[in-house]
Amino acid sequence: MKITILGAGNMGLSFSKSFLKYELIKPENLHLITRNQTKFPKISEEFPKSKISTFDEVTDLDTDLIIIAVKPQDFPHVAENFKFQLKENQMVLSIMAGIKIEKIQKVLNHPLIVRAMPNSPTLLGMGITGYTAAEGISFSQLINIERLLNSTGRSVYLENEELLDGVTALSGSGPAYFYYIVDAMIKAGVEMGIDENLSKLFVQQTMLGAYHLINNSDKNLEELIQDVASKGGTTEAALKTFNENNFKEILKSGILNAEKRAKELNG
């Protein structure tokens, strides 16, 4: 199998690394396309055997799958300036947030589109990707794509493309929400006089441990909270402030706003 990555940025390169790590393709069958030459030295250091080109110099694509990993805002420019014709049997996998299959089909004038929404832990093979496919894509073609996606973590096929906007808001953007909360906790630690590096250690290990308790307990989230929050205690004092300020509602409305933005990006 030959794979081309259009947009060798964070996501494009972490996908590439996962494919090579699990030997799903040979390095010489990987083609990385960048906007300009400035990134060539760094990319070729990491992918010495793979082909690297700039977008403008690609006039013919000898590939089975092209993965579009440019920012959604850059897609109109990419679509208008394609110098190559997609061949009938070539598959396109888009990981761009908020751009619908129908739109991609229209601007590329090509039917075989799979749309996926990964997240940043793909870098460690711990991502989660929701994906859906255009009509006309065969089961075996889909399984091939799923095998690739699974090298970056887990993947979930969704029949309804609309739900990908929710996935974008939940797991695509989700790591940033987590960092945001972790950051606030670390800063609270510093304010209470704990050294920043120690505060970081306390918070990160707490999040890791709590995550494993969620996964390994029969209790639901409310019960897990009750286990920590004894009556009249410290946790209860914190939760009281969160509730008085509608923290849960704020988080929820932020996530719904991310979904709205995903829908807007589609235009």
Ligand X SMILES: NC(=O)c1ccc[n+]([C@@H]2O[C@H](COP(=O)([O-])OP(=O)(O)OC[C@H]3O[C@@H](n4cnc5c(N)ncnc54)[C@H](OP(=O)(O)O)[C@@H]3O)[C@@H](O)[C@H]2O)c1
Interface residue list for ligand X (CB under 6 A): 6-12, 33-35, 55, 69-72, 74, 77-78, 95-97, 117-120, 172
Q: How far is the CB of 53 from ligand X (least distance, A)?
A: 9
- Cβ 72 to ligand X, closest distance in Å? 5
- Closest chain position to ligand X (CB): 9
Does residue 9 have a known ligand-binding role? Answer: yes
Is the CB of residue 4 less than 8 Å from the CB of residue 61?
yes
Q: Between residues 4 and 29, which has the closer beta carbon with respect to ligand X?
A: 4
> Which of 12, 166 has the CB closer to ligand X?
12
**Token pair recorded at residue 220:** 């639901």
Q: Please calculate the CA angle 57-152-14 and round it to the nearest 5 degrees.
A: 40
Provide the residue type at 230 as one letter.
Answer: S
Minimum Å gap between C-beta 6 and ligand X is: 6
Q: Is 228 known to sit in a ligand binding site?
A: no
* Residue 169 is assigned to a ligand binding site: no
| CB 6, CB 55: distance < 8 Å | yes
Q: Which two tokens stand for residue 37?
A: 């030459």
107 is in an annotated binding site: no
133 annotated as belonging to a binding site for a ligand: no
Closest CB to ligand X among residues 69, 149 = 69
Q: Which two tokens stand for residue 175?
A: 């790591």
Task: Kindly state the tokens that stand for 147.
Answer: 């095998």
Q: How far apart are CA 214 and CA 218, in angstroms?
A: 8
Q: Which residues are annotated as a binding site for NADP(+)?
A: 6-11, 34, 69-72
